[in-house]
């Protein structure tokens, strides 16, 4: 896989997982059961949780959160702790900033172009063919497609991934994914997302804890666009 393709996939997978989880405004996507085939208790419980999350974010346009992200596992010599913020605006705009180990990077998309901004190097990578990918994932947020089309969803009532005082959903890709084994979405009592854990098939773990959640946030167009700056190196990635 080429470096540009890997960069795009890693961004879309990570940002999408967080985006989908932050605003999991999803009506349950499974077909309604036939009258003589009632849903199982577990399936009904999952459907009930998804419906409550959907209701919690039903009228939201823009969400802003602060986050702390800890990455660990075989790919890391030691845990990498980063902090930053994430803004998502329906239907297709995101801004994600992360700082850690002395480095700050920003991912910005207006829905058609993705800019990966690296201020320390005065470099920005530009991806032009990301519209379908970003819209696909943020489309979850406006009910264009359901999470259960791409993931099997289950409640995590106990075990290592259970968290006291939180409802935890496990999202497992329906198709084999070389980078993603599962996503654990942690919900508070109001069914708002307060944590997201990404698990890889080879043992890496990225734990994102969210705070200062604002469902009534505002963000102007300038937040979702990178403006060319003198002295910066612009790299067209596709």
Domain of 152, CATH number, reads: 2.50.20.10
The pTM of the full predicted model, rounded to 2 decimals, is 0.78
Q: Is residue 63 part of a domain?
A: yes
Q: Which parts of the chain register pLDDT below 50?
A: 1, 3-13, 15-17, 19-37, 139-145
Q: Is residue 33 part of a domain?
A: no
Region of 74 (left: φ > 0; alpha: ψ -120 to 50; beta: rest) is: alpha
Q: Is residue 201 part of a domain?
A: yes
Side-chain-side CA neighbours of 91 within 13 Å: the count stands at: 12
Residue 84 has a pLDDT of 93
Q: Is residue 93 part of a domain?
A: yes
Q: Is residue 222 part of a domain?
A: yes
The CA distance from 224 to 138, in Å, is 14
Q: Is residue 238 part of a domain?
A: no
Q: Is residue 69 part of a domain?
A: yes
Q: How many domains does the chain have?
A: 1
The CA distance from 62 to 47, in Å, is 25
The kind and range of the H/E element at 98 are strand 93-100
CA distances from 70 to 78, 171, 207, 228 (A): 10, 19, 5, 31
Residue 58 has a pLDDT of 80
State how far Cα 157 lies from the chain centre.
22
What size, in residues, is the chain? Answer: 238
The two beta strands, 62-72 and 205-214, are: antiparallel
- For 167, the token pair is 């409802």
The CA distance from 169 to 19, in Å, is 15
The residue segments making up the domain with residue 202 are 3-28+41-227
Question: Which residues neighbour 5 within 8 Å (Cβ) at sequence distance 6 or greater?
Answer: none
State how far Cα 205 lies from the chain centre.
14
Q: Is residue 235 part of a domain?
A: no
CA distances from 211 to 70, 86, 206 (A): 14, 11, 16
Please answer whether residues 185 and 169 qualify as being in contact, where contact means their C-beta atoms are separated by less than 8 angstroms: yes
């Amino acid at each position: 896989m080429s470096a540009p393709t890997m960069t795009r996939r890693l961004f879309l997978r990570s940002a999408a997982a967080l985006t989908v989880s932050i605003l999991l405004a999803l009506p349950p996507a499974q077909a309604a059961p036939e009258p003589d085939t009632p849903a199982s208790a577990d399936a009904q419980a999952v459907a009930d949780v998804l419906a409550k999350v959907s209701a919690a974010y039903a009228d939201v346009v823009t969400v802003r959160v602060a986050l702390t992200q800890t990455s660990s596992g075989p790919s890391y010599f030691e845990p990498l702790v980063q902090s930053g913020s994430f803004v998502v605006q329906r239907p297709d705009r995101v801004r994600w900033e992360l700082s850690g180990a002395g480095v700050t990077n920003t991912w910005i998309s207006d829905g058609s172009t993705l800019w990966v901004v690296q201020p320390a190097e005065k470099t920005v990578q530009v991806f032009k063919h990301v519209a379908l990918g970003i819209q696909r994932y943020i489309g979850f947020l406006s009910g264009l497609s359901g999470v259960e089309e791409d993931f099997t969803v289950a409640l995590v009532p106990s075990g290592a991934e259970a968290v006291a005082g939180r409802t935890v959903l496990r999202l497992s890709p329906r198709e084999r994914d070389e980078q993603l084994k599962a996503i654990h979405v942690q919900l508070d009592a109001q069914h708002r997302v307060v944590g997201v854990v990404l698990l890889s098939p080879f043992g890496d773990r990225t734990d994102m804890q969210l705070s200062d959640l604002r469902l009534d946030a505002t963000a102007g167009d300038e937040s979702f666009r990178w403006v060319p700056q003198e002295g910066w190196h612009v790299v067209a990635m596709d």
